[in-house]
Amino acid sequence: MNNASTSSDFPPSNRFDPEMVNNFMGKIGHGGFLNMKYSGHGDDWVELAIDWREDLVGDPGSGVIASAVVISLLDNATSMALWQRRGEFVPQVTMDLRLDYLRPSPSGQRVYGRGICYHISRSVGFVRGIAHNGDMDDPLAYASGTFIRLGGWQ
């Protein structure tokens, strides 16, 4: 993910808190433009959501949001799932991300993106993602990807 910050922004004693982190990741820059909201988390997953908006539409004929909005949502959610599984914030960037679009997200509907981290090696995090409109059993997209840990950004 390209929108992380350095670990020095967080008190080192605190466990990674996805809701708190989204309070700024979802408020500034691209996350702020999309107005990403925290939706929930577990031991190895984080779910975020984006509300439908006219200026997020990728197909004016149908009102379906741009597929890249779903990419951004799942990029953030999977990246946070990795931190959530680690329990701490470490600098990392997305190596690659694949999305399969099962169906369009209907006009007017909120999109949820659940990121799941299913494995971590010393330097690589392996993630999956599911996008849906409120029912996990009716997904609109699946994602898989990898993140690489950085030695330091500065």
Partner 1 sequence: MMADNKTQSGLPPYARALGIVISDNSGPAPVIEMPFNDKVQGRPGYLHGGAISGLLEMAAVAAIHKALAERSSDASIKQVNVTVDFMRGGLTKTTYAAGHVVRMGRTMANVEALAWQDDREKPISRAQMHYLITTQ
Residues that bind partner 1 (CB under 8 A): 1-5, 28-34, 54-60, 65-69, 71-73, 75-76, 93-101, 153
> By C-beta, is 42 or 102 nearer to partner 1?
102
From CA 33, how far away is CA 115, in angstroms rounded?
A: 20
From CA 21, how far away is CA 8, in angstroms rounded?
A: 13
| Least separation in angstroms between CB 87 and partner 1 | 20
Contact indicator for 102, 64 with CB cutoff of 8 Å = no
Q: State residue 135 phi and psi, 5-degree precision.
A: -120, 110
| Least separation in angstroms between CB 42 and partner 1 | 23
> By C-beta, is 42 or 107 nearer to partner 1?
107
> By C-beta, is 42 or 95 nearer to partner 1?
95
In 3D, which of 138, 103, 125, 140 has the Cα closest to residue 1?
125
| Least separation in angstroms between CB 70 and partner 1 | 9
Q: Are strands 139-149 and 57-59 parallel, antiparallel or unpaired?
A: unpaired
| Least separation in angstroms between CB 100 and partner 1 | 4
